Structure 1
């Protein structure tokens, strides 16, 4: 039943950047605690400062590099593969062989 409650805790829709950040820091903290790690333990394992880790848990503020290091330390790096996936094609023209755009020109 405990796992069912934990699964449902994060089943809500995240609708703002602040909510996404809050949810991310809460999930990281939960994974740290479930792994039996203190903040200092995780900071040392991830190669980030204790202050950075503490600030992330309290406010959600952390550099991208530090976040990725923490994810690796908690064996959650594969989750980054789900960020910014390619969008599915909308039309048949999107499926036909076209050169992949490397950048967008300013108008």
Structure 2
């Protein structure tokens, strides 16, 4: 498998998905506590259930939409979204096609013909 992603997990990154979820949960919990909000208040503000907030803070998986709601309520979504700069108005398909053109339209090295070299010697 010749993948740019390096297989199932990126090489050099020792964090498993479970560890990443735990780290995210702890970080969001710290942010909630900094804002002096209870789990109940966060759940109500984000429009999610209390059990979902508890699951997330304990490192369990939640739906992406619910994660976004909580991140929005804690005012951390923009920082996350800023990690991924917007494209130049291209669709993912157009970006892929542009990348393919760039990769395959590289000019090949042009050799000087022997005749040109002879003319210069004459």
TM-score > 0.5, shorter chain as reference? yes
The corresponding residue for 2:22 is 22
| TM-score normalised according to structure 1 size | 0.63
Deviations 1:23-48 (A, max 9, x none): 10000000001110000000001111
Of residues 95, 98, 106, the one that matches 1:100 is: 95
- The alpha carbon displacement at 1:100 in A equals 2.3
Unaligned residue ranges in structure 1 (runs of 5+)? 1-12, 87-98, 103-107
Distance in 2, Cα, partners of 1:74 & 1:67: 11
Unaligned residue ranges in structure 2 (runs of 5+)? 1-12, 87-93, 98-122
Moved over 3 A (4+): 82-86
The count of aligned residue pairs is 78
Please tell me whether Structure 1 or Structure 2 has the larger radius of gyration of its CA atoms.
Answer: 2
Backbone CA RMSD of aligned residues: 2.2
The corresponding residue for 1:70 is 70
